[in-house]
A and B are shown apart, each in its own frame.
Chain A
Amino acid sequence: MNFDFSDDQKQLRDQARKFLTEKCSPKAVRAVLDGKAPYDKELWKGLAEMGFLGVAIPEDFGGAGAGHLELCVIAEEMGRANAPVPFSSTVYLAAEALLIAGNEAQKKKWLPAIASGEAIGTLALFEGKGNPSPKTIKLTAANGVLNGVKKPVADGAIADFAVVAARTGSSGRDGDISLFVVDLKDGGVEVKSLTNLDPTRGQAEITFRDCKAEPLGAAGEGWSILTQVLDRAAVLCAFEQVGGSDRALEMGRDYALDRIAFGRQIGSFQAVKHMLADMYVSATLARSNSYYGAWALSTNAAELPEAAAAARISATQAFQHCAKNNIQVHGGMGFTWEFDCHMYYRRANAMALGLGSLSYWEDQLIDRMRKKNAA
């Protein structure tokens, strides 16, 4: 058994960390947070040049063809750096949907463009409140045109194309849902930016009016494809969350060592030490669950649905826990705009909702565990 990343994968992690430390400083993140740009274009270009955007995209489609373990390693570093780029929407959601269900022409059109940084993609799934479910999808597709409104769409305002979930039937079953690819530059859409918890990763409302769309995968297969996409994205996001948890823990630890109160380092107070120890515990459990998810993702194991849900829940909890208590360790300084703590707090809480909330994944996990036990 070797339940760890390989030396090559760890080297890739070091490389990604070094690159992001240089190109994605808190100052760079703040430029986006302060509204100076919708995302960090320079960083996005750099990520493409490093080959990080296409790391899991096959060589035939312009990627590095390395694999999903490598993508997990990079995801962790993206989370650590709190990178203000549309990485998760483009690489985990749009690219994975194309890899799972795209035809040759669709893959040829979009995957090389993703790998080279020319195209930003996203998944247009949600329509207001609620968790992923075929019932919440009202947007219709008929005769190759879409009508309806999607919100929130992650990075929707800067995306070049979107994978859109639409209703194509009225049976009341999963088979009513089909997926489409829409080139957002072709017209038929109206895009509006939405303010959101984490401005370093934008959200938008997209209205489709008789918008031309190409089917992605077979008609009626949409929900089954989406489930796979969400499971894969859950593992990848879990690595971002693990990276964020570790960084928040480090910030708290460093501050506890640095800050003196009542004549001693605050990190010498047991109450503070124990809070940091608990952050370490949650981050460690999340990391271990995520490693299992990574194994399942990279081998396309039958365990993936359960592993993905466990990684998702554990990593969501850990990131929220670490980000929240990092602020607590910092005391009053922690919730000032000037300190970086809130950037991780925002990201943690936004990420907790993006693929469906905790309650959705709790439900998924129990269903999947029951299915396994019954089998």
Chain B
Amino acid sequence: MNFDDTPQEAEFRATARAWIGANAPKQYEDELRKSSLGRTQLKNANILDVAKAWQKKKADAGWACLHWPKEYGGRGSSPIERVIWQQEEGPFGQLSRMFIIGHGMCGPTMMAFAREEHKRAYLPPLASGEKVWCQLFSEPAGGSDVAGLRTRAEKDGDDWVINGQKIWTSGAHYSDYGILLTRTDPTVPKHKGLTMFFLDMKSPGVEVRPIKQASGASDFNEVYFTNVRIPDHQRLGEVGDGWNVSLTTLMNERSAIGAAVSTGFPELFEYCSSLMLDGGPAIEDRAVRAKLANWAVKASGLKYTSMRAISALSKGERPGPENSIGKLVAGSMIQDVATYALDLQGAGGVVSGENAELAGRFQAMLLRAPGTRVEGGTDEIMRNIIAERVLGLPGDIRVDKDVPFNKIPTKGRG
């Protein structure tokens, strides 16, 4: 049991560190370091422009999408090298959040299912951040029931014609391309009638409407499709096999381990170390210490769970469903941490934004936190995954399993 790099890993780390030291946009380092959930923005610059410039610089020097093959714009690195890179990139890694859907999910799906000429044409500009991708899965009636989607794709000559609506699409408002899951046959059970495509987001008939979230920010969108035409050669996988294609996408999401999960704990610990309460420093208060200790061991538990996963990865093991715990634990923790930080501020905690304590860091966290417990699978779905795929408990009873999709009653928004 050790934390040391192998000689090759150490060499890779040294090279990466030197390059980052010489090339990273240092003028934003402090802001990026202090950004936390709900607050990744730059005061005097457009974060998307800064992110794109950094990504392009990385791509030109061969540091983009490390684990992708070189011919598609990557570096052909091992998973462990990717983790080392993330550790070295530190706060600048926050910038790549803008591309997380494209790099983590769309790219790998294209690699697995697109034609070779499409891979060579579309993947390098995705890797370099010149083109941004989004993932069009969720729908108003779907929610956690992804396969319950209703966006139709109908064959018309060599094209497919798309009509319907997607929702919760991260970054659609600045995306160039998207991967799209549609229903091509409503007369068979829901998982069997789906087909996946990729499309140009500038296609006629695509309309993107940003959603204003509880936090006031707009990270997500509704996307409407009215008679949008997609050529058949942009289909990913077989007609009717879209569910399996989407599982590949979702599995890739899980393998994005090693990236630090935000728990809010370091921020809270730092805050309590400096905060003065009536009787003295907050951190000397018995009740505060108990709270902090409980969150400290969750945060360290997540950190070392991730290190165990990285060790397994370096031995060639595949990341499994047990990695669902990162988001499950961190999601509700960051919400609780933010709530507690405001509790410590008393009545003053109600003030948000620049005039608030720490420029409203915890207030922003509080308002963004509910989203982390929902996006990429709710807490409840994460628990189901652990219960079913790790512990081997029976799946939920699905009353719609063998029913043709067009016979399933639906109501409500997801």
Q: Are A366 and B289 in contact (CB under 8 A)?
A: yes
A267 pairs with B393, CB closer than 8 A = yes
Would you list which residues of chain B between 294 and 320 have a CB under 8 Å from chain A? 294, 296-298, 300-305, 307-308, 310-312, 314
Please state if B301 and A3 are interface contacts (CB–CB under 8 Å): no
Q: How far is the CA of A140 from the CA of B80 in the complex (A)?
A: 57
Q: Within the complex, which residue of B5, B311, B386 is in contact with A4, where a contact is CB–CB below 8 Å?
A: B311
The number of inter-chain residue pairs (CB within 8 angstroms) is 152
Chain B residues whose C-beta falls within 8 Å of the C-beta of A299 in the assembled complex: 2
Quick one: which of A267-309 are within 8 Å of B by CB?
Answer: 267-268, 270, 272-274, 276-278, 280-281, 284-286, 288-289, 291-292, 294-295, 298-299, 309
Q: Tell which of B57-65, B199-207, B248-256, B322-330 binds the partner.
A: B322-330
Q: Is the Cβ of B386 less than 8 Å from the Cβ of A281?
A: yes
* Main SS at interface, chain B: helix
| Contact B304–A276 (Cβ < 8 Å) | no
Is B293 in contact with chain A by the CB < 8 A criterion?
Answer: yes
Look across to chain A and name the residue whose beta carbon is closest to the beta carbon of B296.
A365
In the complex, whether A362 has a CB less than 8 A from a CB of chain B is: yes
The residue from B4, B301, B310, B393 contacting A284, defined by CB atoms under 8 A apart? B301
Q: Which residue of B lies closest to A314 (CB)?
A: B297
The one of B4, B298, B380 in contact with A285, judged by C-beta atoms closer than 8 angstroms, is B298
**8 Å CB interface, B388-408 against A:** 388, 390-397
In the bound complex, how far is the Cα of B5 from the Cα of A365, in angstroms?
Answer: 28
Residues of B within 8 A of A285 (CB): 297-298, 301-302, 305, 325, 329
Q: Given A256-B393, A295-B2, A370-B283, decide whether A288 and B387 contact each other with a Cβ distance below 8 A.
A: no
Q: Could you tell me the distance between the alpha carbons of A310 and B393 in the complex, rounded to whole angstroms?
A: 31
Does chain B have a CB within 8 A of A317?
A: yes
Contact yes or no, A292 B393, CB < 8 A: no
Q: Considering the complex, which residues of chain B in the window 360-414 have a beta carbon less than 8 Å from any beta carbon of chain A?
A: 380, 382-384, 386-388, 390-397
Partner of A281, one of B292, B325, B388, B397: B325
Contacts of A6 in B (CB 8 A): 1
A274 contacts which of B300, B304, B383 (Cβ < 8 Å)? B383
Closest A residue by C-beta to B382: A277
B273 at interface, CB cutoff 8 A: yes
Contacts known (A1-B311, A1-B314, A4-B308); A366 close to B293, Cβ less than 8 A: yes
Tell me which residues across on chain B come within 8 A of A92, comparing CB atoms.
none
Please tell me the number of chain A residues within 8 Å of chain B, measured between CB atoms: 49
Chain A residues within an 8 Å CB radius of B396 = 268, 270
Known: A280-B386, A359-B290, A369-B269. A268 touches B397 (CB 8 A): yes
B380, A291: Cβ atoms closer than 8 Å:
no
A273 and B393 contacting across the interface, CB-CB below 8 Å: yes
Residue of A nearest to B385 (CB): A277
How far does the alpha carbon of A354 sit from the alpha carbon of B296 in the complex, in Å? 22
- Contacts A273-B388, A281-B328: A268 and B293 contacting too (C-beta < 8 A)? no
Q: Are A313 and B1 in contact (CB-based, < 8 A)?
A: no
Alpha-carbon distance between A292 and B80 when the two chains are bound, in angstroms? 19
| A264 at interface by CB-CB < 8 Å | yes
**Given known A273-B383, A273-B387, contact A4–B329 (CB-CB < 8 A):** no
Q: Tell whether, in the assembled complex, residue B290 and residue A3 are in contact, meaning their CB atoms are under 8 Å apart.
A: no
What is the minimal beta-carbon distance from A238 to any residue of chain B, in angstroms? 11
Known A1-B5, A359-B290, A366-B289; contact A284-B305, beta-carbon cutoff 8 A: yes
A261 to chain B, nearest CB (A): 13
Q: Find residues 249-295 in chain B having any chain A CB closer than 8 Å to their own CB.
A: 269, 273, 283, 289-290, 292-294
Q: Considering the complex, give the chain B residue whose CB is closest to the CB of A280.
A: B386
Asked if A295 and B3 make an inter-chain contact with CB atoms under 8 angstroms apart, the answer reads: yes
Give which listed residue, B9, B80, B301, contacts A289 with CB less than 8 A: B301
Residues 330-347 of chain A, each 1 if its beta carbon lies under 8 Å from chain B, else 0: 000000000000000000
Pairs A-B, 4 closest by C-beta atoms: A285-B301, A362-B293, A288-B304, A273-B387
Excluding A1-B307, A285-B298, A313-B294, 5 further A-B contacts by CB distance (< 8 Å) are A1-B311, A2-B311, A273-B388, A274-B387, A365-B296
Interface, chain A (partner B; CB < 8 A):
1-6, 69, 249, 253, 256-257, 264-265, 267-268, 270, 272-274, 276-278, 280-281, 284-286, 288-289, 291-292, 294-295, 298-299, 309-310, 313-314, 317, 359, 361-363, 365-366, 369-370, 373
